[in-house]
Structure 1
């Protein structure tokens, strides 16, 4: 079996639904823990703007799940009550289905992804997750606005968002690219992103970090009225 990762996003506009989604950051934990076949999961909030900010966006939340295969993922997301509750309250929701192709590092002390051989071409998703050392929070977040503006203006990035389990301390970036060349050009360019990577390495800013890439298998729902994968030639 090939492991399937799902990342589901939910947008809430009404204040009572936003309040509900915030409480579910703690309240949904018992329900998530009882879902069969779910080996790893995270409930996440998001940041404002492009998402890569320490200021919470109370209208957007995400759930990451690791399943043993695609059929199980589809069934559980469709039939499990907790996901139905999120969809029923949300104004819009979108789930992307992923296959891990590379992963290094740990997340909450675990290596959650089991990569398969990396495809030589085609669209891909990239995820980075880090626990930031409290003593360098000001330095880290001081660099983020320039990086956020840079990724937001990059014409090659098809989807991007910053999410996290705990504001300020736990940061996750997720982005979708048409191919490895476009993603590598952004990551290695001489700009805020490259400077931040060097600072992170030189200063050992993270207590824990994980970097992963994924092949994109499909999606359900919409985001901003369309599928972010529209027009992509998926493998």
Structure 2
């Protein structure tokens, strides 16, 4: 049975009636499992249409731990829930999540509460700021719809950014996923604190240069940036909980 761990103590958490976002990533190793997961990009939609307490969801695939690459083994479910208890219970017990875990060799879920949001996703702002920034791990999510005329410029920049974040020792967890290959891209990363996140974002390097180019060249038709407080985790990734690095340090 999976356990929901508090980000600081590793113990089971309490829950509260505030909006909670979950990101669940799954790794499918066999060809048969990968074909099944690909088909779920269409079939699993019905499950979420029937979930009344899920206000927003996205099924994502072809993700990788390097933002600029596709990994056909990795798929993800991002969902927004009315409260923390619903998020915990549904990601543990709902048929769709149990089905995905049964086919996957590994899965990992992060529980999040938004502290900062700007922009739109599919024409709306899906995350509601429900928490203030606090000590502890933070997550950053960026989502963009790239203008077709800017695709070549965007993807020329992406490998360099991926290399920089991949070698950053502060990053606890990172994943790149997408709704539509090439056009709709999502990056997600977890950092031990606000300072380490800010140092990466602000220092002059590939990431900062890319941000300036995006603004100057109007590369995105739609974009969203969100920052979250990480309130818990469940499962493992690459054999362990990536947040254990943070817990061991405090």
TM-score tier by shorter-chain length is over 0.9
CA distance in 1, matches of 2:104, 2:187: 22
- 1:116 is aligned to 2:130: yes
Q: Structure 2: give runs of 5+ residues left out of the alignment.
A: 1-16
TM-score, normalized by length of structure 2? Answer: 0.90
Is contact 1:143–1:196 with CA below 8 Å preserved after alignment? yes
CA distance in 2, matches of 1:25, 1:120: 35
- 1:21 is aligned to 2:37: yes
CA distance in 1, matches of 2:44, 2:134: 38
| Equivalent of 2:223 in 202, 209, 224 | 209
Task: For residue 142 of structure 2, give the secondary structure of its aligned residue in structure 1.
Answer: strand
CA distance in 2, matches of 1:42, 1:98: 15
| Equivalent of 1:103 in 107, 114, 117 | 117
TM-score, normalized by length of structure 1? Answer: 0.95
CA distance in 1, matches of 2:238, 2:131: 32
| Equivalent of 1:9 in 18, 22, 25 | 25
Residue equivalent to 1:52: 67
CA distance in 2, matches of 1:228, 1:115: 25
Matches within 5 A, 1:186-205: 186-205=200-219
Compute the RMSD of aligned alpha carbons.
1.5
* Aligned positions, number: 233
Task: For residue 56 of structure 1, give the secondary structure of its aligned residue in structure 2.
Answer: coil
Task: For residue 111 of structure 1, give the secondary structure of its aligned residue in structure 2.
Answer: coil
Residue equivalent to 2:51: 35
| Equivalent of 1:134 in 134, 148, 151 | 148
CA distance in 2, matches of 1:64, 1:46: 14
Q: Deviations over 1:48-78 (max 9, x none)?
A: 4x3312x431100000000011101111112
